[in-house]
Amino acid sequence: MKRNKKERQKLLLQTIELNPFITDEDLAEKFSVSVQTIRLDRLELSIPELRERIKHVAEKNLENEVKSLPIDEVIGEIIDLELDQSAISIFEVTHEHVFKRNRIARGHHLFAQANSLAVAVINDELALTAKANIQFTRQVKEGERIIAKAKVKSVSQEKGRTFVDVNSYVGSELVFSGEFTMYRSNKLFKTEIE
């Protein structure tokens, strides 16, 4: 359905407020216009491009800092973090992450994003992966964006373990799931001292 410019721009603002991670391509498809039209609308409305919107959301939501590893060692960009509760990261699949012959992402990149997010969500100085039960549910291709969501299921203080589920999506489609058992440093250090 074609809309006039004023209506389209109003809906564009609402859509980006609801989903700041939507791409210009997705917006163009949604509003049945060209990508260039969406870019011009964003420019007129002073709406930054996707990467800037992601950074803005990340800065706004990262009140807690990652403690278990340096932030630059997290695979993907963390956009939300509540230590010992949940975390979200975004990973853009580029040509360096795919097999050359078929442009399908190498599985270790999906695993690395999920595993580093499971480590990052731990509220401790050191966290290590003890065990991971993973499943790839569909291929991911070059140019797709993976959104990984980590949720802490339980914490066992006496065993020094935290159990984290991570589900990764392209759009609304599940592409990877993992159950991670994480060692926490407080248990490791107690064991070394005893």
Q: Which string of DSSP letters, residue by residue, matches 175-191? A: EEEEEEEEEEHHHHHHH
Give the chain's mean pLDDT: 85
Residue 63 has pLDDT above 90, yes or no: no
Sign of CA dihedral 29, 30, 34, 35: negative
Cβ atoms < 10 Å from Cβ of 79: 22
Token code pair at residue 36: 């260039």
Amino acid in position 19: N
Q: Where does residue 93 fall: left (phi above 0), alpha (psi -120 to 50 degrees), or beta otherwise?
A: beta
| 23-30 mean pLDDT | 88
Segment 158-193, tens digit of pLDDT: 678 899 999 999 988 999 999 999 998 764 444 443
CB 183, CB 130: distance < 8 Å: yes
Q: What is the pLDDT of residues 69-118, one digit of tens each?
A: 776 788 998 888 888 899 999 999 999 999 999 999 999 999 999 999 99
Closest by CA to 147, choosing from 33, 3, 21, is 21
Q: Which letter does DSSP use for residue 68 in this model?
A: S
CB 97 within 8 Å of CB 63: no
Residue pair 50/106 in contact by the 8 Å Cβ criterion = no
Predicted model pTM = 0.68
- Write down all domains in the chain, each with its CATH number in brackets: 5-47 (1.10.10.10), 62-193 (3.10.129.10)
